């Protein structure tokens, strides 16, 4: 049985490297994104993967792996945004962006460990299509929460849904890596 913890760390480190390099190139311009805009960015990525899965044809060379990395990174960005005060500056250093990424990625990893314990790594038996569908479901839930002014009655909030999206993206990337080997 593969070691989930080391696979998870390898994938999140790859995602983080891209995130930090983009922070060095672009700064933290993503900080202007409101929650709905982040949802839409993730939706575009997940919908593209779904279209490629359904059609079996890919016309743009950008690999599906890159779309899953973007889903993970946008999910972490959403968690960072939700943890910052409304008046926090848009600009932050690449080091501060990395620190916040590590903080939220660590929280999501802890959630994964807890769920893996309870669910017995059921994700290993899931299809790539299911990961995409579940990401899309979580995005639709977040859109509804936003339409409800961020309020839920009995359901998890936006942060829990973004954390699940990050974990589904990481699981998809682990499985993509396994299929390449």
Residues 78-125 pLDDT 10s: 999 999 998 999 999 999 999 999 999 999 999 999 999 999 999 999
Cβ-in-10-Å burial (0-12, 13-18, 19+) of 42 comes to: buried
**131: pLDDT strictly greater than 90:** yes
| Cα 120 from Cα 171, distance rounded (Å) | 14
What does the pLDDT look like over 56-66, one tens digit per residue?
999 999 999 99
Q: What pLDDT was estimated at residue 145?
A: 96
Taking the model in full, what pTM does it have? 0.96
Tell me what the pLDDT averaged over the chain comes to. 96
| Cα 13 from Cα 156, distance rounded (Å) | 27
SS3 64: helix
**Quick one: how many helices (H) and strands (E) in the chain?**
6, 0
| Cα 104 from Cα 163, distance rounded (Å) | 9
CB half-sphere exposure, 62, CA atoms < 13 A: 9
Taking the C-alpha atoms of 25, 96, 160 and 177 in order, what is their torsion angle to the nearest 10 degrees?
50
Q: What pLDDT was estimated at residue 1?
A: 60
**2: pLDDT strictly greater than 90:** no
């Amino acid at each position: 049985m593969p070691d989930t913890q080391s696979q998870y760390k390898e994938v999140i480190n790859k995602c983080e490297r891209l995130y930090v390099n983009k922070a060095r190139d672009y700064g933290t311009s993503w900080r202007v994104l409101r929650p709905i805009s982040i949802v839409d960015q993730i939706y575009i990525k997940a919908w593209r993967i779904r279209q490629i899965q359904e059609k079996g044809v890919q016309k743009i060379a950008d690999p599906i792996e890159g779309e899953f990395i973007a889903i993970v990174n946008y999910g972490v960005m959403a968690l960072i945004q939700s943890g910052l005060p409304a008046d926090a500056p848009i600009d932050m250093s690449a080091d501060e962006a990395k620190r916040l990424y590590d903080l939220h990625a660590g929280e999501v990893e802890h959630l994964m460990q807890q769920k893996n314990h309870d669910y017995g790594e059921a994700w290993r038996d899931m299809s790539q299509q299911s990961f995409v569908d579940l990401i899309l479901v979580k995005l639709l839930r977040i859109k509804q929460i936003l339409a409800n002014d961020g309020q839920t009655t009995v359901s998890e909030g936006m942060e829990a849904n973004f954390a699940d999206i990050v974990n589904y993206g990481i699981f998809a990337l682990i499985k993509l890596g396994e299929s390449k080997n």
